[in-house]
Every structure is written in C-alpha cells, then in structure tokens.
Amino acid sequence: MKKQERADYIRARLKQLYPQPSIPLEHSDPYTLLIAVLLSAQCTDLRVNAVTPGLFELADVPEVMAQLPVETIEDVIRPCGLSPQKSKAIRRLSEILRDEYAGVVPETFEQLEQLPGVGHKTASVVMSQAFGHPAFPVDTHIHRLAQRWGLTNGKNVVQTEKDLKRLFPQDCWNILHLQIIYYGRQHCSARGCDGTSCEICKKCYPRRVNPVVTRKA
C-alpha cells in the first residue's frame, strides 16, 4: 500500500472498531478537562481518573481552586507524579482564569498555551474535545503508531502532527485522535506489538518481519 492508501484503510478500520469513542479522562466541563489533561502528563488516564474526584470535590471551578493552598492540591494529586510542578500550575492557571477570563476557559490555542502547565498537546485536547475545534493531539500512543504504520518518520511529535493532518480529512481529526489512542492501548501497545503482530500493522505491512524501532515522543 501507498501511504495515503494505508491512511484511508486505517481510518475506515478504526471507525468500524470504535464508532463512538468516549474521552478517556473523566470530566464535567472544559475546566475539569483542562485539569485532567494537565495531570495526565507522564501518568495514566486510569490513575488520573482515580485522583480527580477527590480534587474536584475540593474545587471544580477556577474561583475555588485559586483559593486552595498549593500544598493541599499537591497532596491530593501526588499519585499522578510531578505533583510539585503540577500543583503550582493548577493553582496559578486557576488564578489567571479567575482574574483574566471571568472563570471561563479560553477557546483559542494562543490563550490556552499561555496558561501555566499547558502545552500544545494539552491545548489541542481541550480545543478538540471540549470545544469541538479541529485538532490532532499527538500523545505517545499516536506518535508510536504513526511510525509503525508508516504515516510519519517520527522525528518528533510536531512533525507527526503535521504529517497526520496532511493525510486525514480535518473533519475526522477529533474522533480519529481518540480511536488511535484506544487501538494503541488495546492492540498495538509498546510491548504488545512491535509493528508485526496487530491487525493494522499486518495489513499495512504484510511482508514486514523485523520489529519497528520507533522514536520516542
């Protein structure tokens, strides 16, 4: 298959497997999604979902979160890792949302990426899943699978995002991002497939025999 043919097949197959994928991070609005995505850095969604109910019980709006001591936030989110940095970012971004945005999460990449602890990937998730704007967040699963499927050279996540946006129609980016994540976790994980064993890898490269060494995100 040529690259575009692989992309078309992958899109069709993932639509069959995951017609209506849900957002893995539990949340109730753009603010709680923003906090959950921030916490998911170097942490599993499962652990984040175990931690956020306790955090949101204390504060689920910027006005209240901004009043919590950083130490209190850090104590609650410690299981997610990087708690000193994440707690300070959560407190500070909540203050900014309260003071500069009337407690409302902004709806542009530029404004989101200016918030403490919010990088392009986090902003992309919020823009796509909270607000419905076309975006293609690239996490470790997507970066790895895009390389295994020959959709990118994997130099970095920035390049991977550009390559995927060129290959797939804009109107499918938001759902395809979730579909790839689910497939990567269930069928093409870092240890569960080396580019030669899962259904999509074998379909895209039926003659491949050597494991694919992927570049880290």
Q: What is the pLDDT of residues 188-215, one digit of tens each?
A: 998 889 999 999 999 999 999 999 988 8
User: pLDDT tens for residues 85-138?
Assistant: 999 999 999 999 999 999 999 999 999 999 999 999 999 999 999 999 999 999
Burial class (CB in 10 A: 0-12, 13-18, 19+), 124: buried
Choose, from 121, 163, 194, 216, the residue flagged as catalytic. 121
- The dihedral region occupied by 210, where left means phi > 0, alpha psi between -120 and 50, and beta the remainder, is beta
Distance CA 155, CA 216 (A): 9
The model's pTM is 0.92
**Options 139, 165, 171, 203, the catalytic residue:** 139
* Structural domains counted in the chain: 2
CB 133 within 8 A of CB 173: no
State which of 96, 130, 164 marks the end of a domain. 130
Catalytic status, residue 139: yes
Q: Please tell me whether residues 117 and 153 are part of one structural domain.
A: no
Residues 38 and 54 in one domain: yes
- Residue 122 is part of which domain span? 30-130
